[in-house]
Structure 1
Amino acid sequence: MSSSNPQITVLGLGTGDEDQLTLGVWKKLQLAAKSQAKLFLRTKDHPMVQLLDANSMPYETFDPNYMSNETFERVYESIAEELITAAKSHASEVLYAVPGHPMVAEYTVQLLKQRCPSEGIELQITGGESFLDQAFLRFGFDPIDGFQLLDATSISRYALNPQLHTVIGQVYDTYTASDLKISLMDAYPDEYKVIVGHSLGVAGQEQIIEVPLHELDHVKGYGNLSLVWVPRSEQEGPYNRTFGKLHEIVQTLRSPEGCPWDREQTHESLRKNLIEEAYEVLETIDEDDPDHMCEELGDLLLQVMLHAQMEEEIGTFSVYDVIATLNEKLIRRHPHVFGESKADDADEALVNWNAIKVEEKRKKGIDVTQQSVLDGIPRELPGLMKAMKLQKKAATVGFDWTELDDVLAKVEEELAELREAIALGAEDGAQQRRDELGDVLFSIVNVARFLKVDPEEALAQTNRKFMQRFSYIEEQLRLKGLSFEQTGLSEMEVYWQEAKKVIKLDQR
């Protein structure tokens, strides 16, 4: 390299076997020693340093930086800063030697690539054998089958793909291995076989150890030259925990080779299924049954998948568009979490949410000033829930009672009108009775709102209470060998009163 600009040349020292050091890197190191060029090593903790010592090649290391900085990120930033300063103060090029290949898991090199152009420094990178070369060789898999490289210090559950071979570097110590184990156990069974490789390719130091995943942090000897290989899975279990597998199954069910029933379904035919599955989830919440809830949430998710798959088949959108739209909306509507706004409590968060919804409507060309206050309430909501939402919306503009006594008086008024409608007789007052009964129910919802009680939940609890007490009556009759036909209302009332004393309803 001939230039008047400051120069940094990065050299890859390979994996540790001197026979694998590239000829070009070795020549560069020899020339540097003769010319007394400045040579820096990221760390002395690498087998190739023995070769440098044996040939009396002078160098400085950045090992002290690891002790003087609290995080790896700050360590690497400090190394880049010192290299840039050294390059500017030396007439000749500065050499920086790193373990392995400079472009594989070398954050300091990435920092130099970012900063050197703006600092007026020419940067040259000379490759070396990567630890991946030895991983492919010693672990014995072909990366063309599907492969990913991950960093143990920043691994994400969402990056794990059981269909790919996964090599994980930066497993520096037992603590890192323990954190890695926990992350992997989200995607793989506890007994899944993983392979630990220490100092791969380094004669006399190499170790290859196979252990079940749950023992990953029991392995001894973790250090700078340690890797973990998670072989790609040939089993259904790990892949069944992925969203991709679910998408694949639903596609298959709807395909010509799939299930005749699933192929015939439409948005309209599955309307009731969606509602029923949602209510079954609610039932598991009332039961406080996590296993049942897990199953029923899956059934509800299947309905979402089926509706999205129908649209994917005609090219309008896919379930991944659904996910992207939801992610974008959640981020956009939570600026106090993902942005710079603030919300100290739930009320403030709700104000932010509603303000953003209004802005979204404006961007879609909707004139919010022309919309009804009651807009935005789903047409198909259950009656009690819809009544509650209507009343809440009306209350936001002041259309509301101020005192609970007034609301209770309204209930009495509506009951009186219902009595009048009932007095009209079966033929004359059928429609009026229905109207007045609706008014009574609507006014009862208003009472619930003032009491801060969800009317759907209150009625659901009463339904459960009725079922438990009625089941008690049935059980008592069975014990006495009686049927309902042989039992009068007065006797059943006795059992009912007993049930009220005996059965304690779960107040969830």
Structure 2
Amino acid sequence: MAASITIVGLGPGEWHDLTLQAYAVLARAAAEGQTVYFRTLIHPTVERLRAEITGLRCESFDHYYDESQNWETLYQQIAEEVCTLAGRPLREAQPVIYAVPGHPLIGEASVQRVLTLARERGLSTSIVAGVSFLEPVCTALELDPLEAGTQLFDATTLAALGDDEVAGKIIPTLPLLVGQVYNRRLASAVKLVLSEVYPDEWPVKLVRAAGVGDDETVVTLPLYELDRGTSLANHLSTLYVPPVDELTALRLPETLRYITMRLRREPDGCPWDRKQTHQSLTRYVIEETYEVVEALEENDMEKLADELGDLLLQVYLHSEVARQEGEFAIGDVFEHVNAKLIRRHPHVFGETEVSGAEQVLVNWEEIKKQERIAAGRDVKEESVLDGVPLAAPALIVAQEYQKRAARIGFEFSSVEDLLKKVQEEIRELQEATSPEHRREEMGDILFMVAKAALWLDIDAEEALRRANRKFRQRFQKVEEIIRQEERTIASYGDEEWGELWEKAKR
């Protein structure tokens, strides 16, 4: 039984690149009065076909290129129409013929959508191979795509990528070929996407009419000029982006991995970085974490981007130390966190339904419990306080302990009772007679103050950081007043200090 849809490859453009099988299919269609649907008529082979094959009836989807406002749906629209035509009654004896440039399965995004949609609708398909655009393009560039690890994209697919997707799809340290850069508007969209990971001045090559005799040209230009010329891009245009050096691709995670590896490489890395261990780097993880917190509290987004990078460096440094010691690699870090997020969000990545954020938290705790069981932990012997890192700031640990204890009923009945307990701890501090006893009672006071903050829905650690920042700002203002008055600090008495402080508070 004949296929419902026959997809024919027209080759890159030269007449002698059209296969005998493709010619036979098109000639038979003309003899039977059947229409051939071309993705585009802007292809050198089409004009010769019309001249060679009498009665060839041609229709195209060129109008979609001018009408479409969405690169992502352009080829889907074409596929919908092709499959709709193939699904009409009385088509069994006469399949739809869809002709595309090059080879149907190489750099031809519309064909993949046709094949997918045809399977969904129960339509059979057949492929008539053709010479792809890759052969003449690689010949013009003197490029071996396999040896170089070349990436291949359709221009409309690339243009549809969001800003947050580009770094995960394109590896700029490998060569890139972008096919079907068919007009200036698409060239502009491609340029904007590539600018996310390549320097604006990066030299690229636009290959036009590859393999089509004297029409073939290779134009070298900086990336930012890709859409400047009105006549550069057309249906036979392929963009080549050469690879950047590892130290040039500054917007990619892979570059950070390379840099950390290079810093610790023997014998020509950095002497300081080479001598670091997990233990010696611990303090920097803590320092960088607090600098991120400071940037957040200052609402300084430029500083936050910088500090997050410093914190990310610590992740990569520890991963590189571990890799060199045969413990784990950065890939293991990614695998652990990705698997954990997927596993703990079945309402996003699975079929679980939730009623709201509260149920998400309930599910989260149950999933964590199942993870501990799978790891061989005896959950019956667990404490509700397990899993709180003691290395965390003491106020954070205190409030986490208090929240967990309250969940199982260990709680004050009212805020008044809680405040009475605070007063009791203060009295016990006043009555303490030894340094050790006073230290213990001071700890109890701080613990109960953290509990009072929890009752008032206040993050005690954040509140104390705010108080520290307020004190710093006011004291620095006091210092500025002293400098303005041209006096020494020792010359101020207690009453004057009080006056200075009141001025600073205004």
Which TM-score band (shorter chain)? 0.7 to 0.9
Partner of 2:10: 13
CA distance in 1, matches of 2:177, 2:483: 65
CA distance in 2, matches of 1:44, 1:322: 47
CA distance in 2, matches of 1:77, 1:402: 66
For residues 375-428 of structure 1, give each alpha carbon's deviation from its aligned partner in whole angstroms, at most 9, with x where no partner exists: 11012111111101111111111211232222212111111111111xx3xxxx
Partner of 1:177: 187
Q: CA deviation at 1:334?
A: 1.8
Pick closer, same or farther for the CA change 1:191–1:252 going to 2, 3 Å: closer
Q: Secondary structure at the match of 1:395?
A: helix
Pick closer, same or farther for the CA change 1:244–1:44 going to 2, 3 Å: closer
Partner of 2:458: 453
Matched to 1:327, the amino acid is N
Q: CA deviation at 1:212?
A: 3.9
Q: CA deviation at 1:247?
A: 1.4
Q: Would you say 1:336 and 2:336 are equivalent positions? A: no
CA distance in 1, matches of 2:410, 2:135: 73
Matches within 5 A, 1:117-156: 123=126, 125-128=128-131, 130-139=132-141, 141-143=143-145, 144-155=147-158, 156=165
Q: CA deviation at 1:441?
A: 0.4
Q: CA deviation at 1:7?
A: 8.6
Matches within 5 A, 1:433-472: 433-472=438-477
Contact 2:102/2:133, CA 8 A, preserved across alignment: yes
Q: Would you say 1:90 and 2:90 are equivalent positions? A: no
Pick closer, same or farther for the CA change 1:223–1:354 going to 2, 3 Å: farther
Pick closer, same or farther for the CA change 1:400–1:218 going to 2, 3 Å: farther
Pick closer, same or farther for the CA change 1:265–1:122 going to 2, 3 Å: closer
CA distance in 2, matches of 1:179, 1:369: 58
Match of residue 104, structure 1, among 84, 103, 106: 106
Partner of 2:378: 367
Partner of 2:39: 43
CA distance in 1, matches of 2:226, 2:123: 46
Matched to 2:79, the amino acid is Y
Partner of 1:259: 270
Match of residue 369, structure 2, among 358, 363, 367: 358
Unaligned runs of at least 5 residues, structure 1: 502-508
Q: CA deviation at 1:204?
A: 7.9
Contact 2:86/2:123, CA 8 A, preserved across alignment: no
Contact 2:155/2:190, CA 8 A, preserved across alignment: yes
Q: CA deviation at 1:16?
A: 2.0
CA distance in 1, matches of 2:114, 2:195: 36
Q: Secondary structure at the match of 1:229?
A: strand
Matched to 1:102, the amino acid is P
Q: Secondary structure at the match of 2:279?
A: coil
Q: Would you say 1:279 and 2:290 are equivalent positions? A: yes
For residues 217-273 of structure 1, give each alpha carbon's deviation from its aligned partner in whole angstroms, at most 9, with x where no partner exists: 444355543333222225832x23222221122122222212232222222222222
Q: Secondary structure at the match of 1:278?
A: helix
Matched to 1:164, the amino acid is L
Partner of 2:387: 376
Match of residue 309, structure 1, among 298, 311, 320: 320
CA distance in 2, matches of 1:29, 1:464: 78
For residues 95-123 of structure 1, give each alpha carbon's deviation from its aligned partner in whole angstroms, at most 9, with x where no partner exists: 65321112213356546777689979684
Single out whichever of 360-369 and 105-114 deviates more from structure 2.
Answer: 105-114
Q: Secondary structure at the match of 2:151?
A: strand
Contact 1:39/1:97, CA 8 A, preserved across alignment: no
Q: Secondary structure at the match of 2:172?
A: coil
TM-score, structure 1 as length reference: 0.84
Q: Secondary structure at the match of 1:89?
A: coil
Q: Would you say 1:72 and 2:79 are equivalent positions? A: no
Q: CA deviation at 1:301?
A: 1.5
Single out whichever of 476-485 and 34-43 deviates more from structure 2.
Answer: 34-43
Contact 1:284/1:292, CA 8 A, preserved across alignment: yes
Matched to 2:243, the amino acid is R
Match of residue 193, structure 1, among 180, 186, 203: 203
CA distance in 1, matches of 2:98, 2:471: 79
Partner of 2:230: 220
Aligned Cα RMSD in Å?
Answer: 3.4
Partner of 2:177: 167
Contact 2:181/2:238, CA 8 A, preserved across alignment: yes
Pick closer, same or farther for the CA change 1:336–1:180 going to 2, 3 Å: farther
Partner of 1:58: 56
For residues 57-99 of structure 1, give each alpha carbon's deviation from its aligned partner in whole angstroms, at most 9, with x where no partner exists: 53454649969997522532552565587997228x8865321
Contact 2:80/2:114, CA 8 A, preserved across alignment: no
Pick closer, same or farther for the CA change 1:171–1:234 going to 2, 3 Å: same
Pick closer, same or farther for the CA change 1:408–1:7 going to 2, 3 Å: closer
Pick closer, same or farther for the CA change 1:260–1:63 going to 2, 3 Å: closer
Contact 2:79/2:114, CA 8 A, preserved across alignment: no
Pick closer, same or farther for the CA change 1:177–1:369 going to 2, 3 Å: farther
Contact 1:102/1:127, CA 8 A, preserved across alignment: yes
Match of residue 385, structure 1, among 388, 392, 396: 396
Partner of 2:427: 416
Match of residue 495, structure 2, among 490, 494, 500: 490
CA distance in 2, matches of 1:498, 1:108: 72
Q: Percent identity?
A: 38
Match of residue 475, structure 1, among 477, 480, 496: 480
TM-score, structure 2 as length reference: 0.84
Matched to 1:153, the amino acid is T
Q: CA deviation at 1:138?
A: 3.8
Pick closer, same or farther for the CA change 1:175–1:448 going to 2, 3 Å: farther
Q: CA deviation at 1:187?
A: 0.4
Q: Secondary structure at the match of 2:153?
A: strand
Q: Secondary structure at the match of 1:297?
A: helix
Pick closer, same or farther for the CA change 1:439–1:349 going to 2, 3 Å: same
For residues 119-146 of structure 1, give each alpha carbon's deviation from its aligned partner in whole angstroms, at most 9, with x where no partner exists: 7968453332x22223224455443334
Q: CA deviation at 1:311?
A: 1.7
CA distance in 2, matches of 1:117, 1:324: 33
